[in-house]
Amino acid sequence: MKLLNKPLRLSARQITLGKTLLHLLILGWVIFTFYLGVTDNLGADPVKALIHFTGIGALNLLLITLLISPAARYLPAPVLMRFRRMLGVYVFVYAVIHLLTYISFELQFDWSLVVGEIIKRPYITIGMVALLLLAALTITSPNKVRQRLGKRWQPLHNTIYLVVFLALLHFSWSRKTGLQEPLIYWVIALLILLPRLQYLKQRLQRAR
């Protein structure tokens, strides 16, 4: 069932304006939040608040990025795909800021302690694996790199589903008390990925 009678179309100027607004919103949001933290206006524990904000921000952007493809198909609004790569890059940016916030404020750039935390704490290990996968996806996202990789590009970028699983697991394990919020994110992720699972099932049935 399509929600729109005809595909949504945007001019090149409208797409540029939309991307500009997204840049301002996503970057402005994190800059303003760090400003609140630096000026001691982010609650009793600003460091914890910043770590949580950047982590949740990366997860939110990741889920929004995954939502674009089914939204573009079911609205239909294929023009939305023009925004997917940019949002995907911002997932990586927020994840890097999340890590750097933890390393700088919590561990004070003690690199031996950083390595120890990655090895000893499984949820941090999982988070690092997810970040490395995001780095690979970000590096290979430009069209020129995609063309060079050829058929290898799609299997690599299908690891985004593994990133979702690892990110949710990292989030769940990091919450030592109260799993209500992570559970909500698991449900949202399942709802977003359900159409993809149905599509994969249909393709497997056709292949038989």
> Coil, strand or helix: which one is 15?
helix
Tens digit of pLDDT at every position of the chain (208 positions): 566 778 888 899 999 999 999 999 999 999 999 999 999 999 889 999 999 999 999 999 999 999 998 889 888 899 999 999 999 999 999 999 999 999 999 999 999 999 999 999 999 999 999 999 999 999 999 999 999 999 999 899 999 999 999 999 999 999 877 678 999 999 999 999 887 776 666 655 555 5
pLDDT at 105: 93
> What whole-number distance in Å separates Cα of residue 50 and Cα of residue 150?
39
Q: Which residues contact 87 (CB under 8 A, 6 or more apart)?
A: 22, 61, 64, 65, 68
Tell me how far apart the alpha carbons of residues 178 and 124 are, in angstroms, rounded to a whole number: 18
| Domain assignments of the chain as residue spans, ordered by start | 12-207
Give 150's DSSP letter. Answer: G
